[in-house]
Copies of this chain bind each other. A is one copy, B any other.
Amino acid sequence: MPEPTGRRERKKAATRQKIADAARRLFLERGYEEVGIREVAAEADVAVTTLFSHFPAKEALVFAEDAGFARRLTEAVTGRAPDTPLVPALRREVEALVRHCSSDEAAPVYHLIDTTPALRQYEAAMRQRHADALATALTGARAGSATACRALATFTVDAYALARDADEPGAALDELFAMIEAAWAAAGPGRP
């Protein structure tokens, strides 16, 4: 069973990108609610069913890169060098994510998200998934009790969201991770 490394994969990725680009363009031009799925599919020149075979829902078109989020967070835990303290590793990753959201390329999209209730709602559900994934990684690392790990995961993902909304993301991150560090210290009995 050789992994399908070839043209097929490239074509699939290209189609996905074409759809995401079309959606991004239309949503930013005219607003999320004002653009229908059938319109996005037409603009990308694919069938509606094809669109839904690449994205599970309309909202997901806006969060096309979200798969990388959970991955980066969990890898910050599983792939860290031994003796590396946990919370600073998480903080580094969250900081990078927040910075990415403020980049010139991504900022308009996040403004769209912040001003569209349906997208805010979808993002809240996404955060729960990300927190669950991170919690699994943390409990796997035997870093603390199950409850403490779940709490650390949830608080970390929240910190990302709160910092993104804050006036001064950098300062907010300082404050948030000071709180998280204290919370973790109060819970984690022993850790490298």
Contacts and interface: CB of A to CB of B under 8 A. Distances in A.
A120 B57 CA distance: 16
A162 B150 CA distance: 8
A55 interface: no
Interface stretch (A32-40, A41-49, A60-68, A122-130): A122-130
B181 A186 contact: yes
Interface residues of A, number: 32
Given A120-B128, A162-B151, A178 B187 contact: yes
A187 B175 contact: yes
B166 A159 contact: no
Nearest to A178: B186
Contacts of A187: 175, 178-179
